[in-house]
Amino acid sequence: MATEAQTPPHLTPLQLKDEDNKEADKQRKLTASGPSPDPLAANYGEVPLEELQSKEVTGRIWTEVRALTEELKDQKVLVRGRAQTVRAVSKKMAFLVLREKGSTVQCVLLVAPDLVSLGMVKFANGLSRESYVDVEGTVSVPSSPIKGASQQVEIQVRKLYCISKAVPTLPINIEDAARSEVEIDKALQAGEQLVRVNQDTRLNFRVLDLRTPCNQAIFRVQCQVESIFRQFLLSEGFVGIHTPKLIAGSSEGGSAVFRLEYKGQPACLAQSPQLHKQMAICGDFGRVFEVGPVFRAEDSFTHKHLCEFTGLDVEMEIKEHYSEVMDIVDRLFVALFDSLNKRCQKDLEAIGKQYPFQHLKYLRETLRLTFQEGVELLKEDGIEIDPLGDLNTESEKKLGKLVLEKYGTEFYILHRYPLAVRPFYNMPCSDDQTYSNSFDVFMRGEEIISGAQRIHEPDLLTTRAIACGIDVKMISTYVDSFRYGAPPHGGFGVGLERVVMLFCGLNNIRKTTLFPRDPIRIAP
């Protein structure tokens, strides 16, 4: 990146170009000045908006905060970031902690003749938290470690300009939003009551909340999950596709969909790309995947349900058996977990600092149990569940615990589910029609993936739709897709935000969603 410079050249200050020095002085309304005119007044102050309207390209080079290391000792640097905190030591000295993308550096303002004036220190002290500033100065290396910042160097400030002022009183302070529960409890034991920012306040002021090191890390990890997902599938011959979200009628023939009027026709938002990704298989793409929004108008107020989330969907031809789909799940997720642990170490640390978690336990080859084996495991532990029903959240949790004890993994596949609890398009087993060629995948005791072999034969698909109470007329285009020759195929779907939530042991899907939508929240 152009802003990372190992050897910053001599810096031309924004306000001290010889040719327009006087003009600049006139234009600038400097808010801070001493009792007598400050000869260093041009070295600090608020930058008027017009200077920020793409006035000119100066060629100046900015250094990123995270790039500030001992190697830059004694060099001049120009840094842009937020005034996270300003601490006045005296009239003559102040510390400014500058933050950029979660990294912080301590900037020192100490009055010195011809370098730093009382006016500049006063200006620094008057900066509101979270204001955007440009700092110019020299890198120094203090003799003792710096506690209040991520970078172990300081900047001896020579110039300080505010380019965007924050309101004086913020609805939430980043320090408060970044605090862990452990810290709050510890302080409480010492008799100090620290501010705890609740989830709703965080979401109301998401642009502030997102600035914490933990949130910066969460969304960088999320980006990595998607990238690894894509890279793995591309390397396996999958084609990335985009299916429509605007659907005639109601997708998958039922339940809680968002309805709308589409140019006079009734329409709804896709609850999943299921039908269209299968149509892409009928269209000869062989193996496809999609990353895109999924809409569910369900009234779920749980920690893991939202009305809109990002679906990672896969569909593929199979030659013989739905285990071919489970093979992809196995290799994809082992590769994903390995990569995250390797590539995202710093981000995972930042998340753990606010929300401590244990690294996910997973096997080199993912454990596969049949649903019946799962029922047996629960039975052995004294829990009776309907062998032809589904697992509820409680039995999922319990089974997760039993599997962890017995097999040492928090990630496993449960397959061959009872047909009755699966969608109509799941293929029944050949040897026993009460079961289906389907699977769910669990992570830390919660379901994250649902997959199956699909019915590729139009007559059986129609029969199953009717048996499930679906209006066949509504899905005729879908059923017809299989009348022109269709290969056996299967696939699965997984929620991007759930993968991040469960990998990082977080307790709420809202923490891993940039701007969450639940039954009562549609803003910001």
Which residues, 406 to 425, sit near a second copy by CB under 8 A? Answer: none
Site for a second copy in 385-404 (CB under 8 A): none
DSSP codes joined into one string, 344-389? THHHHHHHHHHS--PPPP--SS-EEEEHHHHHHHHHHTT----TTS
Which are the contacts of 435, defined by CB distance < 8 A and separation ≥ 6?
371, 416, 417, 418, 419, 428, 429
* Strand spans (E) along 21-120: 44-46, 76-90, 93-100, 103-110
151 is an interface residue for a second copy by CB under 8 A: no
> Least separation, in Å, of the C-beta of 241 and a second copy?
6
The minimum distance between CB 319 and a second copy, in angstroms, equals 6
Minimum distance from residue 380 beta carbon to a second copy (Å): 28
d(CA 510, CA 504): 13
CB of 400 to a second copy, least distance (A): 26
Burial class (CB in 10 A: 0-12, 13-18, 19+), 458: middle
Which CB sits closer to a second copy, 163 or 472?
163
Closest CA to 355 of 215, 158, 194, 147: 215
Is 144 a binding residue for a second copy by CB under 8 A? The answer is no
Q: Is the dihedral of CA 224, 228, 234, 235 positive or negative?
A: positive
Report the residue number, 307 or 506, with the smaller CB distance to a second copy.
307
Q: Of these, 15, 43, 85, 131, which contacts a second copy (CB under 8 A)?
A: 131
Q: Which of 240, 356, 387, 389 binds a second copy (CB under 8 A)?
A: 240
Instruction: Show contacts with a second copy in window 10-69 (CB under 8 A).
Output: 49-58, 60, 62
The strand order across the sheet containing 308-317 reads 239-240, 287-295, 308-317, 489-495, 446-453, 438-443, 411-415, 367-370
Closest CB 122 distance from a second copy, rounded Å = 20
223 near a second copy, rule: CB under 8 A: yes
Six token digits for residue 213:
């090191």
Q: Which is nearer to a second copy, 37 or 263 (CB)?
A: 263
DSSP letter string over 145-156?
Answer: --SSSSSS-EEE
The CB-of-310 to a second copy minimum distance in angstroms stands at 5
Q: Determine which residue in the list 219, 355, 357, 407 makes contact with a second copy, applying CB under 8 A.
A: 219
Q: What six digits make up the tokens of 29? A: 């309304």
Among 92, 180, 183, 230, binds a second copy (CB under 8 A): 230
Which of 458, 463, 451 is CA-nearest to residue 416? Answer: 451
Of 377 and 419, which has the nearer Cβ to a second copy? Answer: 419
418 DSSP 8-state letter: B
Identify which of residues 242 and 406 has a Cβ nearer to a second copy in the complex.
Answer: 242
Residues 477, 483, 486, CA angle at the centre, nearest 5°? 105
Q: Which segment (68-76, 87-95, 112-120, 208-216) binds a second copy by CB under 8 A? A: 208-216
Site for a second copy in 303-332 (CB under 8 A): 307-308, 310, 317-323
Residue 449 engages a second copy in binding (rule: CB under 8 A): no
Residue type at position 132: Y
Q: Tell me whether residue 292 or residue 505 sits nearer to a second copy (CB atom).
A: 292
Instruction: Work out the angle at residue 71's Cα, subtended by the Cα atoms of residues 70 and 75, and round it to the nearest 5 degrees.
Output: 95
> Residue 237, interface with a second copy (CB under 8 A)?
yes
Contact between 337 and a second copy (CB under 8 A)?
no
CB atoms within 10 A of CB 345: 10
Q: How many residues bind a second copy (CB under 8 A)?
A: 122
- Residue closer to a second copy by CB (options 377, 486) is 486
Q: Which stretch binds a second copy (CB under 8 A): 192-200, 352-360, 456-464, 499-507?
A: 456-464
Q: Which of 492, 489, 487, 493 is nearest to 321 (CA)?
A: 489
* Contact of 277 with 290, CB cutoff 8 Å: yes
523 binding a second copy? (CB under 8 A)? yes
Residue 283 binds a second copy, judged by CB under 8 A: yes
CB of 223 to a second copy, least distance (A): 4
Positions 154 through 173 that interact with a second copy (CB under 8 A): 163-167, 170
To a second copy, the closest distance from the beta carbon of 356 in angstroms equals: 23
Which of 496, 500, 501, 506 touches a second copy by CB under 8 A?
496
Nearer residue to a second copy within complex by CB, 324 or 390? 324
